Amino acid sequence: MNFSKRYKNTVLPSFSKCGKLIATANGSKVLVRDVASLQVLHMWVCYDCVREVAWSHDSCYLATVSGSSVQIWSLTDPVWRSAINESDSGIQTVMWSPDSRHILVLHDFSLFITIWALEYGTQMYIKNAKSPQTIQFSPDGKYLALIERTDCTDFVNVFHTSTWKFVSQFKVPTVNAAGLLWGASSLELVVWDHGFEHRLHCYYLEGTHLFTHEVKKPISMGLQCVSWSPDNQILALGHHLHSVYLINRTNRKVFGELVVPELLNGEEVQYYREVHTSIVGDTIMERLNAVPEHKFEVVTDRSIDLRFEEVPVEKKKGANSIKEKPPRRVIQLSILLIDYYYYFIF
């Protein structure tokens, strides 16, 4: 593996949607580089230390969150810029609409969402949105769906992105909804429950219930990730129990289960292991400021063990003093469906 030289960053670097640019931030300074040459194309200074950067879908704008302000920079017009100040309610995160002309500001404690129109400077509000994980735009960009929590009950609200008006609202039978995902056709929505429940519900856009998937296990931590196939015919559900269930959209039944192996024996895939080097320094300050070297080596040994790392039970004297920690996972399960036949599990 080849690596570039190290650059100081205070936030995770973000690639533009076109894949040709990368944005980095160091303190209050934001840099936009060309991916191929890593040459600096733009540099801006924000009001405060940057904690988040977000690219618009057309890669023409970059939003930076610093303190209680959002600053928006244009890559096509260096003179144009805009700023949003939310000192009263604070800012949790921001996201762009698919048309790249509206920006959504999710406020602290998910009190409400402010939708700003960049061309006209107007704004509107949506109250009681749960979290960023429960806010999703449809693949065709026409609709915005979010989960609203009111009186301990979850509702799915669907808005049209051209007018930001209600399309539909329906109640979902979840204990505490944890996620929402659009189907590839932009006509279906799936909503799944939090980690202690093992249920997923699928609805049409207007609220018609399609099916509910539930798996009862003796020990279960629920769903971890959900993904549709590109043809919108297969729904893949990643569970905490090292398994992936495949649901057929037509008959709404589970037709397959993929189990993550505990041992990897195949020779057709090349595996890399990250190697950390020791930090060298004569003084404490030198060791604190030193950046460790990161190298990757090819793993030639087979089999590769992916089993749990068991955590011992802590026992103390006295009543109600036994604390049992769950097993710590060596890997985290996620799903990426890249075509109709191949499933990648990490």
DSSP symbols for 283-339: SHHHHHH----EEEEEE--SPEE---BPPPPB--SSTT--B-PPPBPSS---EEE-S
Confidence at residue 334, expressed as pLDDT on a 0 to 100 scale: 38
184 compared with 270, residue with greater pLDDT:
184
Q: What are 335's two structure tokens?
A: 């799903």
Confidence at residue 325, expressed as pLDDT on a 0 to 100 scale: 46
Q: What are 238's two structure tokens?
A: 């990643």
Q: What is the mean pLDDT of residues 156-160?
A: 95
Q: How many CB atoms lie within 10 A of CB 317?
A: 6
Confidence at residue 156, expressed as pLDDT on a 0 to 100 scale: 95
Q: What is the mean pLDDT of residues 177-182?
A: 91
